[in-house]
A and B are shown apart, each in its own frame.
Chain A
Amino acid sequence: MSLLEARDLTIGYGHTTVAGGVDLAIEPGTVTCLLGPNGIGKTTLFKTLMGLIPQLSGTIRLEGNEIAQLSRPRIARHIAYVPQAHPAEFTYTVLDLVVMGRTAYLGTFGTPKQTDYDAATAALEQLGISALAERDSTRISGGQRQLVLIARALAQQSRIVVMDEPTASLDLANRILVLDTVRNLAASGLAVVLSTHEPEHAFLVADQVAILGHDRFVTGPVADVLTPSQLSALYGLPLEVETTPSGRHVVGPAASDQIQP
């Protein structure tokens, strides 16, 4: 049984269908990358998979249970969400922000206990950012903030971590740091699901790739899905995949007169 399984899912808001025909299974210890053009509905798909938005049709099962039947604390103990990093409205310290990841384990009227602070501290240590614990979370860099949100997800001790464009707006060093972290989390047995605009990132970290296009949803192993024809159809531009002598994959336009990013 998969940790999270979506079958013949149609997603959207009210009467507006965003995408249909989504079949996806998330397994422990794997990284799933979701690719798709801007505004196609990647965040909507994530929110639907976490039960934050009801699906229009189809089923989502979290460890065998229909997600709509589960309470928020129960879902939170299974799936953690790392939103796109943004400063909070209030100047919480990093530790205070991370310990909020323990909310699903507290009673309705509860406040964090020593064990919850221990879990938060351990999460910060695992990501090597213990030094930030007492820092103001609105006064750290974008990359640090992304790591803090990942630490909060770790403190949540769920088996699935969903990250919404974790590398967007990060500089090169921080992108590498976050991708490394993603790989390490999967190696420790977690299932990581992330969206990205960089096909190269999928080649680097993904076991499974899902692409969400205007008229289709395709999923499978990296080599099967990230083909020049699939990528070209996805982004509406002739693209080719080049493999460098060292084994790295580079995606660029097929036409030689276009800029090679």
Chain B
Amino acid sequence: MRTATILFTLTALLIAVALVAAGIGPYPIPPQTVVDALWQRLIGGDIQSTIDTVLFNIRLPRIVAAGFVGAALAAAGAAYQSLFRNPLVSPDILGVSTGAGFGAVVGILLGFPVAMIQFLGFAGGLATVAIVVTLARALRSSGDVLVLVLAGIVVGALAGAAISLVKVLADPYDQLPAITFWLLGSLSGIKAHDVAATVPVVLIGLAPLILLRWRIGVLSLGDDEARALGVEVGRLRAIVIAAATLVTASVVAISGVIGWVGLMVPHMARLLIGPRFDRLLPAAILLGAAFMIGVDTLARSAARIEIPLGVLTAIIGGPVFVWLLAHNRRRLLP
């Protein structure tokens, strides 16, 4: 089974990247020590206290968070590409990232604590997509995909304008840098309890995408064909939008806005495993997690300051995407 081999290799890659990432930082830990510490933790043995603190309080929460952020964005991107029948669609097509950005930025402006900012980001993302879907249904009751995308562009533009307004109003020495940093994405302030709060929500959102993977693939043929093949399109589309919005909003709430991953990773996965969604989705999840852990490790260790994740994903994503298009036109574009 070629598919099984690829998925197994990607799983191995994800584990390897995570172990190496756990060792990289101001206090380097060799991979075998990382494995040993994990094992000791599992069986309740003794771990040297510095390693214990660095690994389990600082690095692992951040690695787990990065993994879930990458997996969620890649899964949502792959699902939307199938739903909107367009390989150039990313998870924020319906405005979830901009909405989350607006919620979080308001929280920063009002001086709320971090947890509240995260919650506002999450709520802002969900609310924006709810407005987009309601608007699209009001304009065209049949729930046309094109109307949905156009409504997403309009509401996204409004949220973007609102973000700009908040930036103008914000204190330029204290709040504005925080807002800018948040809008570029970062996992630098991540705590174990943030991860514990986010992971279940992401899993709840990923579950329907994974379970319905075959039908989501059939949806890529278009509404009429999918319905003629026996798919209840309206219901499935609602579930996919809800699930993709949930996972995206929940990770954007802890990481800030990170572009490119949801667009690029599904393409890389498609190149490895083909366009069939039931195979593409697990590959995109594994690859997204490994990619994001790698990028976040770079963000925290490549320079003396934290590099914003959105900057890195764009620097890496842009050229890689052009390379993918140039060398694999046949596989990527019809």
Contacts and interface: CB of A to CB of B under 8 A. Distances in A.
Interface string A194-207: 00000000000000
Contacts, number: 82
Interface stretch (B22-30, B96-104, B186-194, B210-218): B210-218
A89 interface: yes
A204 B159 CA distance: 61
Which applies to chain B's interface (DSSP): helix, strand, loop or mixed?
helix
A88 B212 contact: no
Given A96-B276, A111-B278, A90 B232 contact: no
Contact of B334 (A79, A90, A112): A90
Interface residues of B, number: 31
A47 to B, nearest CB: 7
Given A89-B86, A109-B211, A111-B213, A52 B228 contact: yes
Interface stretch (B170-178, B219-227, B283-291, B308-316): B219-227
B45 interface: no
Interface of B: 82, 85-87, 211-215, 217-218, 220-221, 224-225, 227-233, 270, 274-276, 278, 330-332, 334
Contacts of B334: 87-91, 138
Given A89-B86, A89-B87, A111-B213, A103 B231 contact: yes
B275 A90 contact: yes
Interface in A129-158: 136, 138-139, 156
B228 A100 contact: no
A145 B58 CA distance: 55
Contacts of B218: 100, 103
A47 B334 CA distance: 27
A90 B220 contact: yes
Contacts of A71: 232
Contacts of A87: 334
30 contacts: A50-B228, A52-B224, A71-B232, A72-B231, A76-B230, A79-B228, A81-B224, A81-B228, A83-B224, A88-B220, A89-B86, A89-B87, A89-B220, A90-B82, A90-B275, A90-B334, A91-B274, A93-B274, A96-B274, A100-B217, A101-B229, A103-B214, A104-B229, A106-B214, A108-B211, A108-B212, A108-B215, A110-B214, A111-B213, A138-B334
Q: Which of B215, B230, B331 has the most CB of A within 10 A?
A: B230
Given A92-B276, A103-B215, A138-B334, 10 more contacts: A47-B224, A52-B227, A52-B228, A72-B227, A75-B230, A77-B230, A80-B228, A90-B334, A103-B214, A108-B215
A112 B278 CA distance: 10
Given A87-B334, A103-B230, A109 B212 contact: yes
Interface string A62-86: 0000000001110111011101000
